[in-house]
Protein backbone atom coordinates (compact mmCIF):
# COMPACT_ATOMS: atom_id res chain seq x y z
CA UNK A 1 0.00 0.00 0.00
CA UNK A 2 1.42 3.43 -0.89
CA UNK A 3 2.32 5.72 1.96
CA UNK A 4 -0.30 8.49 2.25
CA UNK A 5 1.07 11.97 1.93
CA UNK A 6 1.19 14.24 4.91
CA UNK A 7 -1.65 16.43 3.72
CA UNK A 8 -3.97 13.46 3.99
CA UNK A 9 -2.89 12.54 7.52
CA UNK A 10 -5.85 14.38 8.90
CA UNK A 11 -5.98 12.45 12.09
CA UNK A 12 -2.38 12.53 13.07
CA UNK A 13 -1.97 12.05 16.78
CA UNK A 14 -5.62 11.68 17.46
CA UNK A 15 -6.90 8.78 19.46
CA UNK A 16 -9.99 7.37 17.78
CA UNK A 17 -12.16 4.79 19.53
CA UNK A 18 -13.69 2.34 17.03
CA UNK A 19 -16.78 0.40 18.12
CA UNK A 20 -17.88 -2.06 15.39
CA UNK A 21 -19.18 -5.58 15.81
CA UNK A 22 -18.23 -6.91 12.38
CA UNK A 23 -14.61 -8.02 12.39
CA UNK A 24 -13.95 -7.45 8.74
CA UNK A 25 -15.49 -3.98 8.75
CA UNK A 26 -13.74 -3.10 11.98
CA UNK A 27 -10.32 -4.20 10.67
CA UNK A 28 -10.89 -2.31 7.45
CA UNK A 29 -11.86 0.85 9.32
CA UNK A 30 -8.92 0.56 11.68
CA UNK A 31 -6.52 0.23 8.79
CA UNK A 32 -7.96 3.28 7.08
CA UNK A 33 -7.85 5.36 10.25
CA UNK A 34 -4.28 4.32 10.81
CA UNK A 35 -3.43 5.36 7.29
CA UNK A 36 -4.72 8.82 8.16
CA UNK A 37 -2.41 9.02 11.12
CA UNK A 38 -4.86 8.15 13.81
CA UNK A 39 -4.12 6.04 16.85
CA UNK A 40 -6.96 3.50 16.80
CA UNK A 41 -8.37 2.52 20.14
CA UNK A 42 -10.04 -0.84 19.68
CA UNK A 43 -11.71 -1.82 17.56
CA UNK A 44 -14.11 -3.31 20.02
CA UNK A 45 -17.26 -5.30 19.13
CA UNK A 46 -19.48 -4.62 22.13
CA UNK A 47 -20.57 -2.06 24.72
CA UNK A 48 -18.79 -3.70 27.62
CA UNK A 49 -15.46 -3.56 25.80
CA UNK A 50 -16.12 -0.03 24.66
CA UNK A 51 -16.81 1.23 28.18
CA UNK A 52 -13.60 -0.46 29.34
CA UNK A 53 -11.56 1.30 26.70
CA UNK A 54 -13.24 4.59 27.52
CA UNK A 55 -12.12 4.28 31.10
CA UNK A 56 -8.46 4.08 30.07
CA UNK A 57 -6.17 7.08 30.37
CA UNK A 58 -5.77 9.10 28.29
CA UNK A 59 -9.25 8.98 26.88
CA UNK A 60 -9.91 8.96 23.14
CA UNK A 61 -10.23 12.24 21.30
CA UNK A 62 -13.16 10.97 19.29
CA UNK A 63 -15.14 7.86 18.46
CA UNK A 64 -16.79 6.06 15.58
CA UNK A 65 -19.74 4.03 16.75
CA UNK A 66 -21.66 1.33 14.93
CA UNK A 67 -25.26 1.58 16.11
CA UNK A 68 -26.23 -2.09 16.19
CA UNK A 69 -23.67 -4.18 18.02
CA UNK A 70 -24.90 -7.74 17.44
CA UNK A 71 -28.39 -6.80 18.59
CA UNK A 72 -27.18 -4.42 21.31
CA UNK A 73 -27.74 -0.70 20.75
CA UNK A 74 -24.80 1.64 21.12
CA UNK A 75 -26.81 4.57 22.51
CA UNK A 76 -25.81 4.27 26.18
CA UNK A 77 -22.21 4.72 25.01
CA UNK A 78 -23.23 7.65 22.84
CA UNK A 79 -24.86 9.24 25.87
CA UNK A 80 -21.72 8.75 27.91
CA UNK A 81 -19.55 10.30 25.20
CA UNK A 82 -21.80 13.26 24.93
CA UNK A 83 -21.69 13.70 28.70
CA UNK A 84 -17.93 13.67 28.50
CA UNK A 85 -17.89 15.99 25.51
CA UNK A 86 -16.02 13.50 23.39
CA UNK A 87 -17.06 13.99 19.77
CA UNK A 88 -18.28 10.96 17.92
CA UNK A 89 -20.03 9.90 14.77
CA UNK A 90 -22.53 7.15 14.29
CA UNK A 91 -21.88 4.66 11.53
CA UNK A 92 -24.93 2.80 10.47
CA UNK A 93 -26.76 0.89 7.80
CA UNK A 94 -30.08 2.22 9.08
CA UNK A 95 -32.09 4.97 7.44
CA UNK A 96 -32.93 7.99 9.49
CA UNK A 97 -36.48 6.88 10.20
CA UNK A 98 -35.26 3.72 11.88
CA UNK A 99 -33.23 5.68 14.43
CA UNK A 100 -34.88 6.43 17.76
CA UNK A 101 -36.00 10.02 18.11
CA UNK A 102 -33.44 11.30 20.66
CA UNK A 103 -30.49 10.23 18.47
CA UNK A 104 -31.69 11.37 15.08
CA UNK A 105 -29.71 14.62 15.27
CA UNK A 106 -26.38 13.05 16.16
CA UNK A 107 -23.71 13.15 13.40
CA UNK A 108 -24.25 10.05 11.36
CA UNK A 109 -22.59 8.40 8.38
CA UNK A 110 -23.96 5.58 6.33
CA UNK A 111 -22.07 2.40 5.66
CA UNK A 112 -19.95 1.73 3.79
CA UNK A 113 -18.15 4.68 5.33
CA UNK A 114 -16.37 7.29 3.32
CA UNK A 115 -13.40 7.56 5.62
CA UNK A 116 -12.41 11.04 4.48
CA UNK A 117 -15.81 12.49 5.36
CA UNK A 118 -15.68 10.75 8.70
CA UNK A 119 -12.15 11.97 9.28
CA UNK A 120 -13.14 15.54 8.47
CA UNK A 121 -15.94 15.31 10.99
CA UNK A 122 -13.62 13.97 13.64
CA UNK A 123 -10.60 16.17 12.87
CA UNK A 124 -12.04 19.29 14.43
Partner 1 sequence: MAPSDRAPAWPAGTSGMARRIRELDWSATPLGPVEGWPERLKVVVEMMLASPLVSTLACGPERVFLYNDAAGRLYGQRHPQMLGRPLAESFPRSYPEVIAFYDRSFAGEPVHVAAQPADVSEQGGEIFEAYLTPVRGSDGRVIAVHMTGFEVGRRLAADAALRESEERQAALLKLADALRPLVDPIQIQSTASRILGEHLRANRVAYAEDLGDGATVILTRNYTDGVPGIEGRYSYLDYGEDLLPEMQAGRPVIRPDIANDPRLSVAEKAAHAVLQLGATLNVPQVKDGRLVAILAVHYRTAHSFPPQEVALVQEVAERTWAALERARAEEAFRRGEERFRAIVETARDYAIFAVDAAGRIEAWPTGAREVFGWSAEEAIGQPVDMTFTPEDRARGVPEAERSTARIAGAAPDVRWHLRKDGSRVFIDGVTRPLTGPDGAVTGFLKVGQDVTERRATEDALHESEARFRQFGDASADVLWIRNAETLEFEYVSPAFEEIHGAPLSSILDGNHVRRWLELVLPEDRALALDHLRRVREGEHVLHAYRVLRPDGEVRWIRDTGFPLLDDRNRVQRLAGIGHDATEEVELNDRLRVLVAELQHRSRNLMSVVRGVADRTLTTSETLDDFRPRFRARLEALGRVNGLLSRLDEGQRITFDQLLRTELAAHGVLDGPDHGEQVELSGPAGVPLPSATVQTFALALHELATNALKHGALSRPEGRLRVSWSLQRGREGERRLRVEWREHGVPVDVPDDAPAGGRQGYGRVLIELALPYQLRAPTTYELTAEGLRCTVIVPVSSTLDVAFSSQRDAHA
Of residues 113, 118, 119, 122, which one binds partner 1 by CB under 8 A? 113
Stretch of residues binding partner 1 (CB under 8 A), selected from 9-17, 33-41, 57-65, 88-96: 88-96
CA separation for the pair 55, 10 (Å, rounded): 25
Distance CA 59, CA 53 (A): 8
Work out whether 22 is an interface residue with partner 1 (CB under 8 A): yes
- Would you say the C-alpha torsion 62, 22, 43, 75 has a positive or negative sign? positive
Pick the binder of partner 1 from 12, 52, 56, 68 (CB under 8 A).
68
Q: Examine residue 45 and tell whether it contacts partner 1 (CB under 8 A).
A: yes
Sheet holding 62-66, edge to edge: 39-44, 15-19, 62-66, 88-92, 108-110
Binding segment for partner 1 (CB under 8 A), chosen from 4-12, 55-63, 80-88, 92-100, is 92-100
Determine, following the binding rule CB under 8 A, whether residue 1 of this chain makes contact with partner 1.
yes
Question: Hey, CA dihedral for 104, 29, 21, 113, is it positive or negative?
Answer: positive
Residue 77, CA atoms < 13 Å, CB-side half-sphere: 30
Of the residues 76, 102, 107, 112, which one makes contact with partner 1 according to CB under 8 A = 112
- If one asks whether residue 28 binds partner 1 (CB under 8 A), the answer comes out as yes
Residues in contact with partner 1 by the rule CB under 8 A: 1, 21-28, 31, 45-46, 68, 70-71, 92-95, 97-98, 110-113
Amino acid sequence: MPEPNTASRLLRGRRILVVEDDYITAEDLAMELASLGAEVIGPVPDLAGAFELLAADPPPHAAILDINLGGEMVFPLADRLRDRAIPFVLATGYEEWAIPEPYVRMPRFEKPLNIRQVASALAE
